[in-house]
A and B are shown apart, each in its own frame.
Chain A
Amino acid sequence: DVKVTQSSRYLVKRTGEKVFLECVQDMDHENMFWYRQDPGLGLRLIYFSYDVKMKEKGDIPEGYSVSREKKERFSLILESASTNQTSMYLCASSLGLPAKNIQYFGAGTRLSVL
């Protein structure tokens, strides 16, 4: 079974802190994604990566950056956390071929910025 692991289930941070959310997948998937989930808004794509060191902005990249130094790991960085970044963050990965495009999700990180 594919396993996507997010390093923390819950995080509490202060405004202005630099925050790292980590995600690791164990199935050698090409693509990795970071989403933000808010009630009534569904999932919105922040960034995705289709290869090591490659990234592409999603729909809401402002205030976020990402890093993918190794194929299995994709990090989401909040350079200076703000209260409006309080949310649930979901990581996902996929193999990337047309017939293998199912995304597998991690359990999520619920971030509170105070």
Chain B
Amino acid sequence: AQTVTQSQPEMSVQEAETVTLSCTYDTSENNYYLFWYKQPPSRQMILVIRQEAYKQQNATENRFSVNFQKAAKSFSLKISDSQLGDTAMYFCAFQGGSEKLVFGKGTKLTVNP
């Protein structure tokens, strides 16, 4: 069974700085998707970024980018120029050959003014 590990339960960063959230996963599949979802306080979960495993190029969405290392089974999220609105729980998720997502336990990120 696939597992997703987020080793940092909590992190903090100063506004305008850069922060990297870690995620590792375990799978024997070759084709899969990886996701980062964001859950702001008392608000609903939204997709931040998605990576397809067969694409070597790292996905980017504005200030958010990933470092996808397939051989190492690592999928970290980098947030540049952190903003107060980036304060949230961040979940890494894996999707293999089914419609189901496997989530990590989350990283609580606080952006300090």
Partners in one complex: yes
Interface residues of A (CB under 8 A from B): 4, 31, 33, 40-45, 48, 50, 58, 90, 92, 94, 96, 101-108
Partner of B99, one of A50, A105, A106: A50
B25 within 8 A of A: no
Which of B45, B46, B91, B100 lies at the interface centre, i.e. has the most chain A CB atoms within 10 A of its CB?
A: B45
If A106-B44, A107-B43, A107-B44 touch, does A42 touch B99 (CB 8 Å cutoff)?
no
B44 adjacent to A42 (CB under 8 Å): no
Number of chain B residues close to chain A: CB under 8 A? 19
Report how many A-B pairs have Cβ atoms within 8 Å: 43
Contacts of B75 in A (CB 8 A): none
B95 within 8 A of A: yes
B47 within 8 A of A: yes
A43 adjacent to B100 (CB under 8 Å): no
